[in-house]
Amino acid sequence: MFARLPHGTFVVVDGGDKLVGTLSFTDLKHIAFDDSLDRLINARDVAHTQAPAPLVGDTLETVLAVMDVSGEEHLAVIEAADDRRVLGIIHHGDVLRAYNRALLEAQAEEHDDNRP
For residue 61, what pLDDT is reported? 92
In terms of pTM, does the model score above 0.85? Answer: no
Domains and CATH numbers, the chain: 2-113 (3.10.580.10)
Mean pLDDT of 52-79: 93
Would you place residue 46 in the very low, low, confident or very high pLDDT band (cuts 50, 70, 90)?
Answer: confident
- C-alpha 44/C-alpha 21 separation (Å) is 8
Mean pLDDT of 44-71: 91
The answer to whether the CB of 11 falls within 8 A of the CB of 3 is yes
Most confident of 2-6, 7-11, 41-45, 87-91: 87-91
Would you place residue 1 in the very low, low, confident or very high pLDDT band (cuts 50, 70, 90)?
Answer: very low
Rounded to the nearest angstrom, the gap between the alpha carbon of residue 52 and the centroid of all alpha carbons in its chain is 7
End-to-end CA distance of the chain: 59
Provide φ and ψ at 54, rounded to 5°. Answer: -70, 155
- C-alpha 62/C-alpha 40 separation (Å) is 38
